[in-house]
Structure 1
Amino acid sequence: MKIALLGYGKMGKTIEQIALERGHAIILKVGKNDKNYDLTSADVAIDFSIPDAAVENITRCFEASVPIICGTTGWLDHFEEMVSLCHQKKGAFIYASNFSLGVNLYFELNKKLAQMLKPLDTYAVAIEEIHHLQKLDAPSGTAITLAEDIIANSDTTNWFLKDTTDTIATNGIPITAKREPEVPGTHTVQYTSQVDTIEIKHTAHNRNGFALGAIVAAEWLQNKTGVYTMKDVLGL
């Protein structure tokens, strides 16, 4: 594949390394200040940019008929708009809050655990996420996905960021967001009762898992149109 990298920070550089190892070519690298770029020779674009740039990048891919893989979080107020545009332009689009193959298996485990505990009212659920200091959004998109999947599979109706002035719903799922040096991403879902604690946890050791998942998704998306998820890619 000929890949355009939209966003050339740490993730972009890791994607480049793994893409080259898998026999692909990087034909375009777009930094945060690059506005005039040509996508026409790309087979696929992979976007790990910043929230303010993501919508424009996705739109330009649809306009150029280039399939787009997007791992940027923090822009989802415009998600349905991008889905509609994808269908209108007969484009191809995969968004994931986390492209790690392990995390996407973890998402499915999280849903199953929520379903199993739904009949019990003795457990309180909470989520903690830890990321590197450069991460712009809090809570992480992965933590939000975990919370939304719990909500969809339990009687819980909302989530809130803990230790802020946000008082949307103090009876919802509290999400604690921590920022520490050199942490690629750690997510913990914890159910606590008076007698025990049930916990599932995913710890990323480096960025390679995120990059590999994005490239696998890009390979899978070739010659397709429509909006897909990592569940489609993994056949889950």
Structure 2
Amino acid sequence: MKIALLGYGKMGKVIERIAHERGHDIVLKKGSKDSFTGLENADVAIDFSIPDAAFGNISACLNSNIPVVSGTTGWLDKYHEAAQLCEEKKGAFIYGSNFSLGVNIFFELNSCLAKMMGRLGQYKVSMEEIHHTQKLDAPSGTAITLANEIIAHSDYSSWAIGNPKEDEIFIDAKRVEGVPGTHTVTYNSPIDSIEIKHTAHSREGFALGAVIAAEWLIGKKGIYSMKDVLGL
């Protein structure tokens, strides 16, 4: 498989190594100042860039009939435009707020717990997410995914990172040097607490999941998620 890497920071370099370990070739390594020359040689593209570049990267792939996997967060105000373009071009696209296989299992645990807790009004839910200081968006895309699933099964209407209203989930977004990603969901009542937590030990899990998603996307048409890739 020939892969175009759109975004060649720390994550891009880990993806490159894992892709090579799995027998794939990298035909384009695009940093923020590089062109798309070589994209046409790719079987699939993996975008781990920055919020301002993600939509342009995804659009370039879809316009070139290149399947694209994106793990960049902070650009979702344009997600519907990307989805519409994918449909118009009959392309293939996967977006994931987190490609870690473990985190996607965590998403399912969060959903199951939210369905059970939604009927128990004595519990108040809150979240904490901790990431490295280079992460540009806050809260993380993973935290937003977790919050939205809780909202879907409760009376909460939204989330907030400061001074939450009664119907908002408080997300405490922290930035600590060297932390790949930790997410905690806590339900508190006057008599007890219930907590689920996922801790990433390195970027390897995110990178491996992205490469697995790219392998899965080859030959497909449509808009997918990691739930499709993992059969969840």
Sort the TM-score into its range (normalised by shorter chain).
over 0.9
Match of 1:208 in 2: 204
Unmatched segments (≥5 aa) in structure 1: none
Amino acid at match of 2:126: A
Match of 1:17 in 2: 17
Unmatched segments (≥5 aa) in structure 2: none
TM-score normalised over the length of structure 1 = 0.96
Residue 84 in 1 paired to residue 118 in 2?
no
Superposed displacement of residue 37, structure 1: 2.5
Amino acid at match of 2:221: T
**Pairing 1:56-67 to 2, within 5 Å after superposition:** 56-67=56-67
Runs of 4+ in 1 over 2 A off after TM superposition: 35-38
**Pairing 1:1-236 to 2, within 5 Å after superposition:** 1-162=1-162, 169-236=165-232
SS in 2 for 1:49: coil
- Distance in 2 separating the partners of 1:146 and 1:52: 23
SS in 2 for 1:26: strand
- Distance in 1 separating the partners of 2:166 and 2:36: 46
Superposed displacement of residue 119, structure 1: 1.1
Does the 8 Å contact 2:30/2:36 carry over to 1? no
Tell me the alpha carbon deviations over residues 10-69 of structure 1, each in whole angstroms, 9 at most, x when there is no partner. 000000010000000111100011134331110000000001100110000011100000
- Distance in 1 separating the partners of 2:35 and 2:127: 37
> CA RMSD, aligned part only?
1.0
Superposed displacement of residue 162, structure 1: 2.4
Tell me the alpha carbon deviations over residues 73-96 of structure 1, each in whole angstroms, 9 at most, x when there is no partner. 000000001000000001100000
Does the 8 Å contact 1:61/1:68 carry over to 2? yes
Does the 8 Å contact 1:160/1:170 carry over to 2? no
Superposed displacement of residue 170, structure 1: 4.8
SS in 2 for 1:40: helix
- Distance in 2 separating the partners of 1:36 and 1:86: 19
TM-score normalised over the length of structure 2 = 0.98
Amino acid at match of 1:177: A
- Distance in 2 separating the partners of 1:158 and 1:224: 34
